[in-house]
Structure 1
Amino acid sequence: MGNATSLSELIQEIGRSALNLEDIAAHPALHRYVQEQSQSLIRIYEETPRLASIFATQQRWLMAHVGLSMHFRRDPNDRRKELTVSRFTEVVHKNAVASRNTADAFIKEMLHYNIAEYVAGGDGRTHPLQPTAATIERFTGWVTAHLRTLDHIDGGDRLGRYLERPDMLATLQPLIADGLLASKPVREPNQTFSLFIWLNNGGIVMDWLMSGIDPDHAGQERIPTSVVSIGDFAKWLKLSRTHLGRKLRTAEELGSIGWLGQRGHSVMWVSHGFYEEYMTVQAAKLAVVDNAFKACFPPPQGGD
């Protein structure tokens, strides 16, 4: 009986332990799972490109997480904790995500495109804000995509448990935001990844490149993608062909991408190093999500 109790305690302890970056990165099928995740995020972009623009660069993506976390942590009975333009700009600046001016411009853009809206009461910079229902719905898609990937990795049931308690988003998202802001691999990625995160829709550029890779080719030094035409790629992304081409050329000079034939008119490849950079950041994000999930949905205590 003593042995049975010890085994039960061990299983519970394993259940309480969130996956870390190393656990996730070492999974042999990680690419297949992240590829599915990337395709889910690409669908969100295709369905609502304007809304998806809040994730267009890493800076905007982090500001969006900050804004959502402030919304979910608000206290309607304490005006000092409401999400306002002035509080948002201060929190963004304090966390070294962006300057106050950039944060101010971002939140005004969110209001202009009905991604965020004013709530009743207040005026000017003290007027409380909130994300629209459509924004929260689309962000939920981001959360479920990552929970599904984590379930694939260890056979868990995070997504099912979350869907039973979707109200837990209000607790889960702020913890995810905290984790992302504190994650060095997410905020200080390696050279080529950094190059793209400052490009408009840079995250989608990388998702598209990586989602078109055959997992069986992931071990090659030059990994073929599904991209052939820069022009078509830029058109789909609603980016300037010149601007995208400039970024791709810089990445090419770093040895991170190239073409199997004529530049811009043949299959594009990505280097194994660039691929590893991308997967490391994905693993880091997944680890953040899992830590947040375990804090919100702890396993039941006690055992047989």
Structure 2
Amino acid sequence: MTLNAEEIADHPALHRCVRLQALAMNQAYQANPRLSSVFATQQRWLMAHIGLALHFRRDPSDYRKEATAARIIDAIRQHQVASRNTADAFIKEMLHYNFIEVVPADEDARIRPVQPTPSSLEEVVGWMLAHLQTLDGLDGANRLSLFLARSDALARLQPLVADGLLSSHPVREPKQTFSLFTWLNNGGAVMDWLISGIDPDHAGQDRIPTVVVSIGDFGGWLKLSRTHLARKLRDAEEMGSIGWLGQRGQSVMWVSRDFYNEYMTAQAVKLAIIDAAFAEAFGTQASS
């Protein structure tokens, strides 16, 4: 039986499991900040999923149905994720940093398919593993081992996850403070870092302490300018979503219970999408 978003959100183990997930995201970011940043901003995250889904759904026997830059850009526009110019700039950036590569076309030189490089696929696999581990931590099932046992697991699962994310209103239109950070460069990493430093036992407090003390150190780790990060944090502070236990920027930062719950609700929605996709991809339920 798959877990729906409400069941996940109400699960007593969610806070501890998601904290471990956030720590895994932090480790991936530290290992390769530039590549991880593709998944650390809402718009780029969705564009990457669209491109990957087209890649995995291509028909290798028909060169006219390959995943080209033009087809990816068209799909991004059709899903209203970004403008043509933004999508084009994203593709060019992915090519520049060797996150995707052009594949020579034998039949027609005018068609230039692109595909993710091995390092990019490793990043996607790591993202998927972290979320499957969270789901297994909630119900004791064996999604992770089933995924690892199949060489075609990512190709089967990722397009269905992309479908679920793109069709989800809560994913596309996040609430309040969560939305504020999803449009910040590396905003996902900002939230993961904040949540990873929270003791789940403190989750019921109105002001939940984090491990962040210095904005400068925080921004340095995230490769963000101190000024840019401070501006976004100030916006969140004005909303009552974050604050400081003492002097601003020189004491422990806290997050509000509402912001913390927003983050957990967003994770529950995403995890439910992944779980439903997993069940559809592999035809059987992971056993507990």
The TM-score with structure 1 as length reference comes to 0.91
Paired amino acid for 1:50? R
Structure 1 match to 2:173: 188
Query: 2: CA distance between counterparts of 1:129 and 1:174?
Result: 16
- Counterpart of 2:215? 230
In structure 1, how many angstroms separate the alpha carbons of the residues matched to 2:40 and 2:189? 8
CA contact (8 A) 1:196 1:203 kept: yes
How is 1:77-226 mapped onto 2 (pairs within 5 angstroms)? Answer: 77-121=61-105, 126-226=111-211
- Show structure 1 runs of 4+ deviating over 6 A: none
- Tell me the alpha carbon deviations over residues 48-70 of structure 1, each in whole angstroms, 9 at most, x when there is no partner: 11111211310000001111111
Aligned 8 A contact 1:67 1:88 in 2: yes
Which letter maps to 1:100? Answer: R
Deviations 1:113-167 (A, max 9, x none): 000000012556x310000011101110000100000001011010011111131
Match of 1:256 among 232, 241, 250: 241
Q: Secondary structure at the match of 2:243?
A: strand
Aligned: 1:270 with 2:250: no
1:67 aligns with 2:51: yes
Deviation at 1:101, TM superposition (A): 0.7
**Matched residue SS, 1:223:** strand
Q: Residue type matched to 2:71 in 1?
A: R
Q: Aligned with 2:152: secondary structure?
A: helix
What is the total number of aligned residue pairs between the two structures? 283
Letter in 1 for 2:210: T
8 Å contact from structure 1 (residues 185, 280) kept in 2: no
Consecutive unaligned residues of structure 2, counting only runs of 5 or more, are none
| Paired residue type of 2:220 | K
| 1:288 maps to 2:273 | yes
Q: Secondary structure at 2:255's aligned position in 1?
A: strand
Q: Secondary structure at the match of 1:166?
A: coil
> Does 2:5 match 1:21?
yes
Instruction: Give 1 or 2 for the bigger CA radius of gyration.
Output: 1
Cα distance per residue 1:3-57 (max 9 Å; x no partner): xxxxxxxxxxxxxx31110010000110100000011111111101111121131
| Aligned mates of 1:294, 1:218 — CA distance in 2 | 31
Aligned AA (1:150): L
TM-superposed CA distance for 1:189, in Å, is 1.0
Aligned-residue CA RMSD in angstroms?
A: 1.1
Please name the residue that 1:14 is paired with.
none
Work out the CA distance in 2 between the residues paired with 1:42 and 1:66.
Answer: 24
Give the structure 2 partner of residue 240 of structure 1. 225
Give the residue type in structure 1 aligned to 2:79.
N
* 1:77 CA displacement: 2.0
CA shift digits 1:216-241 (9 cap, x unpaired): 00000100000000000000001010
Distance 1:90 1:186 in 2: 21
CA 1:191 to 1:123, structure 2 compared with 1: closer, same or farther past 3 Å? farther
Q: Which moved more, 1:70-79 or 1:259-268?
A: 70-79
Q: TM-score, normalised by structure 2?
A: 0.96
Aligned mates of 1:194, 1:282 — CA distance in 2:
13
SS at 1:134's partner residue?
helix
Paired position in structure 1 for 2:28:
44
Higher mean C-alpha deviation, range 50-59 or range 280-289? 50-59
Identity, in percent, stands at 65
Q: Give yes or no for contact 1:65–1:177 (8 Å, CA) kept in 2.
A: yes
- Structure-1 residue corresponding to 2:17: 33
